[in-house]
Chain A
Amino acid sequence: MNDLPNRARSISSLRDFLELLEDSGQAITWSDPVMPEPGVRNIAVAASRDANGAPAIVFDNITGYPGKRLAVGVHGSWDNIALLLGRPKGTTIRELFFEIAGRWGDQEAQISYVPETQAPVHECRLEQDINLYDVLPVYRINEYDGGFYIGKASVASRDPLDPDNFGKQNVGIYRLQIQGPDSFTLMTIPSHDMGRQIIAAERENVPLKIAVMLGNHPGLAVFAATPIGYEESEYSYASAMMGAPIRLTKSGNGIDILADSEIVIEAELQLGERELEGPFGEFPGSYSGVRKAPIFKVTAVSHRRDPIFENIYIGRGWTEHDTLIGLHTCAPIYAQLRQSFPEVTAVNALYQHGLTGIISVKNRMAGFAKTVALRALSTPHGVMYLKNLIMVDADVDPFDLNQVMWALSTRTRADDIIVLPNMPAVPIDPSAVIPGKGHRLIIDATSYLPPDPVGEAHLVTPPTGDEIDALSKRIREMQLGALS
């Protein structure tokens, strides 16, 4: 375990990552009999209470699913994310943030192709009498979900109007509700890549084929959820960010897929058809409504021998969803902000996909932080998600909420709060005025600077920096050592 960075770069599949997690005490196998409901949910929720150290859990004895395996919580803690990034357990969230931010735009993609006949994902193949319930040990994720959901699917598709363009292939995470043995609905919105492709296919009356990848290279789940440009390939991006090669092969319906995934479901859009979908317990911690969503018909399933179905618990936080996408919500906002304002020193948008964000900035003049906040609202993610923004000085670590509260307590005046009414909002924000429209809040908790006439009190300056961070870790290690 002394060479974590190389071991992380050598991961090519979920199985490799589970092995690394197990070696590090970060994956456990649940072999006691468990009912799908409410047993799986209860165990997943109990594990996710520990955002720092929760292990992945592999179930291998779910009642009614003999011989089938289910993994939850694979990205369910900061320690698991640290190991994926080649860093040791106990790495702070701030350090992980800078690990990701430092990789942004820094690496080349390494994509290789494996012949279909040699790709592990195609070891077993079903082309008729398909029943998804016979392949996937599903369970109701939250008790009032409208059905059985696949919550951690990376869905790959080609642009229906430009199917030969590698860059325009889309890989994204969308929620899928099983609708009978060989059908599922897919929830998306027009601004997402998949939404654009569905609208285009239906308008031009051309087929839209997709490949749903389950149990994937753990880097893809992290990076496929990152909002990047439409013509950028998520595979290339994930490979570059991992600093590691990604092996692709072709699905039976001609889409580039990961060669080492556990399961791939091939399906085709039923043009113009909509079926009732939802509710689903979503990341704000509330249920989405019932709507009529596009439906896909399954045409084939490929899977590895003894596949592992990977799923997620999502709902009222803290959940795996928060650790899965948290850092990659922060990093693009940080990179985009720094193009305009290099004074930005860190971005913490971990909370509910950035519905609340905390940005630290070297304040140039009184009110400067408010200008930076307005720029944050115009980043691609900020347009829909950044609802509450707290601006702090660069001497405040936005990942340390005790420090953020200190700034709020000592540096905020009530008239340093801006409310922007009637702005666009992500439709599933339960506080929206109407779905899709709501108010934004900016709290300027930075210190006073000229031309502000009020001087600041003389601050106590406790020691900070690497030496103190190292001492803090050492104290923690000594404490843990005393326990063992």
Chain B
Amino acid sequence: MTTTVCGRCKSSGAITDYQGRQNGAVVWTILRCPTCNFSWRDSEPARAIDPAVRSADFAVDAGDLQRYPKILQQ
């Protein structure tokens, strides 16, 4: 069952970008979070994609995206 909740910033509404097939059947789906741009494949180990068990060290704060610096400012 594919969740559309982002494992990194916990926003909902992920977009499906691609589905991998094998002998005609879908074997995994690549999703992308429109809030924090995290992309993942739903077949990955839970520790990388499941917000319940993923390391908080790599969380992105969806409420404070201004904190992330812009590179190559004029």
Contacts and interface: CB of A to CB of B under 8 A. Distances in A.
Our verdict on whether A and B bind, yes or no, reads: yes
Interface of A: 35-38, 63-66, 131, 133-134, 140, 143-144, 146-148, 177-181, 187-190, 195, 198-199, 202-203, 274-277, 279, 287, 289-294
Contacts of A189: 71
B2 to A, nearest CB: 14
A41 to B, nearest CB: 11
Given A147-B38, A180-B32, A276-B36, A293 B44 contact: no
Contact of A140 (B8, B41, B57, B74): B41
A37 B58 contact: no
A346 to B, nearest CB: 36
Interface string B31-45: 010001111110111
Given A63-B22, A180-B17, A199-B74, A140 B38 contact: no
A140 B48 contact: yes
A292 B74 contact: no
A291 B22 contact: no
Contacts of B8: 146
A281 to B, nearest CB: 11
A293 B71 CA distance: 6
Contact of B45 (A37, A179, A289): A37
A179 B31 CA distance: 11
Contacts of A187: 71
Nearest to B67: A290
Contact of B37 (A131, A146, A287): A146
Size range of the interface on B? 20 to 34
B72 A195 contact: yes
B71 A143 contact: no
Interface in B16-74: 17-18, 20-23, 27-28, 30, 32, 36-41, 43-45, 47-48, 55, 57-58, 60, 65, 68-72, 74
Given A63-B22, A291-B69, A148 B39 contact: yes
A188 B30 CA distance: 26
Given A63-B20, A65-B20, A276-B60, A146 B71 contact: no
Contacts, number: 102
B36 A294 contact: no
A261 to B, nearest CB: 23
6 contacts: A36-B41, A64-B21, A65-B20, A179-B39, A289-B68, A292-B70
B42 to A, nearest CB: 11
B71 A274 contact: yes
A326 B7 CA distance: 36
A292 B71 contact: yes
Contacts of B20: 36, 63-65
Given A140-B44, A199-B72, A291-B69, A133 B18 contact: yes
B43 A37 contact: yes
Given A199-B72, A276-B60, A293-B71, A134 B37 contact: no
Q: Which 5 A-B pairs have the closest CB atoms?
A: A64-B20, A133-B18, A147-B39, A292-B70, A276-B37
B45 A181 contact: no
A292 B74 CA distance: 14
A292 B39 contact: no
Contacts of B74: 199, 202-203
A188 B70 CA distance: 12
A131 B65 contact: no
B71 A180 contact: no
Contacts of A190: 72
Contacts of B32: 147, 179-180
Contacts of A287: 58
Contacts of A37: 41, 43-45, 48
Contact of A276 (B41, B47, B57, B65): B65
A437 to B, nearest CB: 15
